[in-house]
Structure 1
Amino acid sequence: MTQDLDISAEARLFAEETWKSGVKQMVLTVEAAKAAVELTRQYPMSTEPPTRFTERFAVSTEVTTDVRGNEWVVHTATARDRTPERTVMFTHGGGFVLRMSESSWDFLAELITETAARLVIPLYPLAPEGTGEVVPDVVADLAARLIAEEGPERVTLFGNSVGATITLSAAQLLRDRGVPAPRLTALVVPVLDNRYLDPEMAELDELDPFLSPAGCRYFGSLYCGDLPVTDPRVSPMLGDNDHLGRVLLLSGTHDILNCQARKFAAMASGFTGTRLEYHEAPGMIHIWATSDTPEGRAARQTIYRAIRDQP
């Protein structure tokens, strides 16, 4: 089916390499997902930026704890050679159970450069300790502080994968607290409903070389903690999405989460005070937006233009 789509040779090769990598095996079954969580707990990834990042950017770090005693490491990065024009808070993906990959720092370096942003990067506690009962609230606290310091017109909330899930839940909480909506809320391939019940997922699972519903549902159950899976703090599509301001949503059609993105986009015409801009990339897989492909570069430019508030 991929071959019938008008996608670049680079994107086709990227998808093939992702299939060959075997990463999907980690989420094919609940048992595999449990083993993956146990492995990450035995060998936790670093919360420190790599040297190639700190050599280019000025980085400060704040370490705090939440109400459960979980540690949060919050990095703030700026270019050394110019004054930031705006602030972006980026919340990373990883299925709620994985730390941000080292390669993501290269994407964040490009983000700072392309948008002239001060970048705030909260490394939240991972599930099962970090759950929807706490994580979105702390992200909302951080966002509220940035909006108070900078003004809403200078702040963008940006999340990737489950980081976008957390970001949308936090945006709802900000609204409920009476905090002005940020200039932009950017969501790249979010989990919008942690039930993973969409009937279209079975067909998409055959096309997706990265995600599979069984393991992802298990990861999501850890993130739910004691919350019902229908709570908007873990399944934000099921919550109130009015009065969130400008929202950008990106999805690829060879991602099991694409059916959720399409459903959310279809709902958007009924939103009040929320302006959703939906971009769908034919044939693209879950991690395409950060890939070194023409389609990945185009997706990133869409995000950067939105952050700079350019058409």
Structure 2
Amino acid sequence: MASLRARLINLALPLFGIKSFFAEPERMEQRLAKARRQKPQRPKAKWHKRFDIVEDATRGYPVVTITPKGGAAAGAPHLLYLHGGGYVLDVAGLHFETVCKLCERLGASATVPVYPLAPEHKAPEVLAAMRALYGEVTQLHGAANTTVMGDSAGGGMSLALAQMLKADGGDMPASLVLWSPWLDATATAEGQAEIEDKDKMLAQVGLRACGEAYGGGLALDDPRLSPLFGDHEGLPPMAIFSGTSDILLVDGRHLAGKLRALGKKDFEYHEYAGMCHVWMLLPMPEANQALEQTAQFITRARAV
């Protein structure tokens, strides 16, 4: 059973308007205009006492680098974290909070791109930018020391990036971590409609609208938007986390099924009963458990 804190948070989620955003795509343009006027969110002051946090905008979009004071621990990984938000919403404070917590657990450093957003920017442009950034990160830290990870849309982008690397012969990261990943932009998978009533954050109609905004004319089942339909052979060790109160549960299950069908043994699938979308970003015991499992997976994957 979900913890009391998790159940209380789930009851409170409608108050934040996330579900309304995804359930009313006809108002998305108006809401995005308002979101673009808000001050960008960055790590809280407390994290600046524990990390050197540097922001660089010379690539045409901001990139935030987080390094423990005194440097990363010997042998620690480097995290390239791609944030969620349906490809249309900016990085949130909760993303930075969670990345910093994970860096503390691992003694790790991290790179968090505040990547260009749809509908102003489309998938081919954004993925090319993330491919170039990955090249920079791995030149500094080594592909074998790098974990690519993300939540929701960022989880989908992480998998799409790995598929791009395979296609162009690039060095693979040590591992992938996908938290509540959005892997199928068509948002039409069997079972999603039945889950939607208990999902307090997402709606199929809004996901499709975001996919169309990000795709810029690409078919919604194009692997750049929907890496579930891409090539999964030869990818790095992978950890997938899904919650049963999230319509994207179906995406996580389908990916795990495809990996099993390929005979892959180097992936983990963690399904949390009663958990909402991206619960690992929220203040609840189940988030701490997911972070610990993530840290253990990243450490094991680098030891292989």
> Residue 245 of structure 1 contacts residue 273 of structure 1 at CA under 8 Å; is this kept in 2?
no
1:242: which partner in 2? 233
Q: 1:271 to 1:48 in 2, by over 3 A?
A: same
Whole-Å separation in 2 of the counterparts to 1:219 and 1:264: 21
Opposite residue 28 of structure 1, the aligned amino acid is A
1:287: which partner in 2? 278
**1:225 aligns with one of 213, 216, 235:** 216
Whole-Å separation in 1 of the counterparts to 2:283 and 2:41: 24
> Residue 94 of structure 1 contacts residue 162 of structure 1 at CA under 8 Å; is this kept in 2?
yes
Q: 1:274 to 1:236 in 2, by over 3 A?
A: farther
Whole-Å separation in 2 of the counterparts to 1:238 and 1:302: 27
CA-atom RMSD in angstroms: 2.0
**1:307 aligns with one of 288, 295, 298:** 298
Provide Cα deviations, 1:86-131, integer angstroms capped at 9, x if missing partner.
2111111111111111233221221111111111111101111222
> Residue 164 of structure 1 contacts residue 186 of structure 1 at CA under 8 Å; is this kept in 2?
yes
> Structure 1 length as normaliser, TM-score?
0.90
> Residue 96 of structure 1 contacts residue 126 of structure 1 at CA under 8 Å; is this kept in 2?
yes
> Structure 2 length as normaliser, TM-score?
0.92
**2:123 counterpart SS class:** coil
Which moved further from structure 2: 136-145 or 189-198? 136-145
2:52: which partner in 1? 58
Unaligned runs of 5+ in 1: 1-5, 66-70
**1:256 counterpart SS class:** coil
Aligned-pair distance for 1:160?
1.0
1:38: which partner in 2? 33
What pairs with 1:1-311 in structure 2 (closer than 5 Å)?
6-41=1-36, 43-46=37-40, 48-65=42-59, 71-84=60-73, 85-271=76-262, 275-309=266-300
Aligned-pair distance for 1:308?
2.0
Provide Cα deviations, 1:221-259, integer angstroms capped at 9, x if missing partner.
111113221211111111111111201110001001111
Opposite residue 9 of structure 1, the aligned amino acid is L
Opposite residue 62 of structure 2, the aligned amino acid is V
Provide Cα deviations, 1:142-200, integer angstroms capped at 9, x if missing partner.
22332333332211001111111111111111111212221111110111010011131
Opposite residue 59 of structure 1, the aligned amino acid is I
Opposite residue 227 of structure 1, the aligned amino acid is L
Whole-Å separation in 2 of the counterparts to 1:242 and 1:64: 35
> Residue 90 of structure 1 contacts residue 159 of structure 1 at CA under 8 Å; is this kept in 2?
yes
Aligned-pair distance for 1:274?
7.6
Percent identity, aligned pairs only, is 28
Provide Cα deviations, 1:63-93, integer angstroms capped at 9, x if missing partner.
234xxxxx31111111104434221111111
Which moved further from structure 2: 107-116 or 264-273? 264-273
Q: 1:173 to 1:274 in 2, by over 3 A?
A: farther
Whole-Å separation in 1 of the counterparts to 2:126 and 2:155: 12
Which moved further from structure 2: 262-271 or 169-178? 262-271
Whole-Å separation in 1 of the counterparts to 2:188 and 2:157: 20
> Residue 147 of structure 2 contacts residue 174 of structure 2 at CA under 8 Å; is this kept in 1?
yes
Opposite residue 176 of structure 1, the aligned amino acid is A
